[in-house]
Amino acid sequence: MIDKLIILHHYLQTKLHHPIQTRQDLEVWQERRVHKHLKTVLPKSSFYHQYYQGLPIQEWRKFPIIEKQMMMEHFDRLNTVGIDKDDAYRIALASEENRDFSPQIHEVSVGLSSGTSGNRGLFLVSRQERLRWAGTILAKVLPAPLWKSQKIAFFLRANNNLYQTINSRRIQFRFFDLLDPIPLHIQRLNYYQPSILAAPPSVLRILAMALKSKELKIKPCKVISIAEVLEPLDDLFIKEQFQQTIHQVYQCTEGFLGVSCSHGTIHLNEDLVVIEKEYIDDRRFFPVITDFFRTTQPIIRYRLNDILVESSEPCTCGSIFTALEKIEGRSDDIFYLYSRFGGKFIPVFPDFLRRSILQAAAEIAEYRIIQHNPGLIEVLVKVPAEMRFVIERKIDIAMNHLFTSLECQLPQIIHTSWSPQTDFQKKLRRVERKFKFNDDQSDII
Ligand SMILES: [Zn+2]
């Protein structure tokens, strides 16, 4: 009961809070929040305390940045509850294997982010943080007031106590395990009849196909894309089948960072985090986040490798929170080609690649582009068989045109036959670079 009241408190706080009207007032408010937060949290985290070498809190924007690898390396001293990394890993891995997601260490939930093995992030969330998260996400995502009944279907790679927190009499939450086969999901969805459907776009796409073939018979009032980049091609198809705007929740291990508004624009949750922008070009940036609520595993000046693209105009919904044109992908998805003038590398952003493929032919239903090395790109497209040859030539032309305009050496482009994704444990990446590229040391133009 107390838990529900706390959730309700955070729900109302998120809904009603922010009499703040201007961007300037928001920034002043954020600054105060960060100071207050750092004052309580820094003395408890010996890692951060040492890392900042006595720099005053007022100068927090000068604190050195951290990234995932560093956070994991110093996990034991960074968290404020004395949880050991090996213990946390053991618990998180065991719960993923048994598909029993309830274990905790001293009321702290442990979760693992997706990623390649060895590169998975651990996250810790206390009961208080869990309740706050539940209240905020409900406030920001629910299409109707909290007291209206909702049935949420949530597709995830792994469940977490975090998500179970929002279960109540009115709000039903059901976890759909991505390890289960699709026909089973369809059967369960037909029976459950969710009012809110949240899933990675690769799964939404398959459900949209099942709607089209009338195997799936559901009518959710809100469809939310999570966990993967929502590509324009998928967005369009899913939107058509579900006959509604597809909303996006931008959330990762590191926090609940953004959500789309009623106009379909993603806004950053600047009432929960400060997002500093590390610009790559005039509108693309890497977010550097400082969460002013998380105390168990403090997130301070933490750089994510997501490429975000700022909107060129404010959103018509009137929100003062930063509007994004899109989440473009991760820095690992940027292709690097040799410069035409030799020696140096030229970055090619995922969006350029997407556009060149989609502009090549309207018949392309799905695609993947993989860069194997600076001189080799593989393209897979799903197209009508009789048109394959012609479309592949059009793709060659479109891509070569792109690379020429960027002054890259033309790579070899190979076409292989399309095969659908079957392993939903893996994130679908339509644009993917397969070789490691160290952009700190390499010679990039
Ligand atoms: Zn908006």
- Residue 291: predicted pLDDT: 95
Burial code (b: 16+ CB inside 10 Å, e: under 16) for 127-163 equals: bebbbbbbbbbbbbbbeeebeeebbbbbbbbbbbbbb
> In degrees, to the nearest 5, what angle opens at C-alpha 437 toward C-alphas 435 and 439?
165
Distance 149 CA to ligand 1 centre (A): 25
Q: Enter the tokens of residue 340.
A: 């035409």
- Residue 161: predicted pLDDT: 60
CATH of 1-331, one of 3.40.50.12780, 3.40.720.10, 3.40.50.720, 3.40.50.170: 3.40.50.12780
The parts of the chain modelled with pLDDT lower than 50 are none
Question: In whole angstroms, how large is the CA radius of gyration of the chain?
Answer: 23
> Length of the chain in residues, anyone?
445
334-433: CATH topology is: Alpha-Beta Plaits (3.30.70)
Distance 23 CA to ligand 1 centre (A): 14
Residue reference for tokens 């940036």: 285
Distance 321 CA to ligand 1 centre (A): 8
Distance 264 CA to ligand 1 centre (A): 7
Distance 73 CA to ligand 1 centre (A): 38
Q: Where are the domains of the chain?
A: 1-331, 334-433
Task: Compute the distance between CA of residue 257 and CA of residue 422 in angstroms, rounded to an integer.
Answer: 29
> In degrees, to the nearest 5, what angle opens at C-alpha 342 toward C-alphas 309 and 332?
30
Distance 315 CA to ligand 1 centre (A): 5
Distance 337 CA to ligand 1 centre (A): 36
Distance 320 CA to ligand 1 centre (A): 9
DSSP state of 411: P
- Helix ranges, 291-364 (H): 350-360
Asked if residues 5 and 131 have their Cβ atoms less than 8 Å apart, the reply is: no
Distance 322 CA to ligand 1 centre (A): 9
Residue reference for tokens 């579900």: 242
Q: Enter the tokens of residue 280.
A: 């790559």
Single pTM value for the model: 0.86
Distance 324 CA to ligand 1 centre (A): 9
Q: Do domains 1-331 and 334-433 have the same CATH topology?
A: no
Determine the distance from the C-alpha atom of residue 338 to the mean position of all C-alpha atoms in its chain, rounded to a whole number.
30
Distance 142 CA to ligand 1 centre (A): 16
pLDDT, tens digit (0-9, with 9 covering 90-100), for 269-312: 999 999 999 999 999 999 999 999 999 999 999 999 899 999 99
Residue 378: other Cβ atoms inside 10 A: 16
> In degrees, to the nearest 5, what angle opens at C-alpha 81 toward C-alphas 252 and 38?
70
Determine the distance from the C-alpha atom of residue 18 to the mean position of all C-alpha atoms in its chain, rounded to a whole number.
25
Distance 259 CA to ligand 1 centre (A): 9
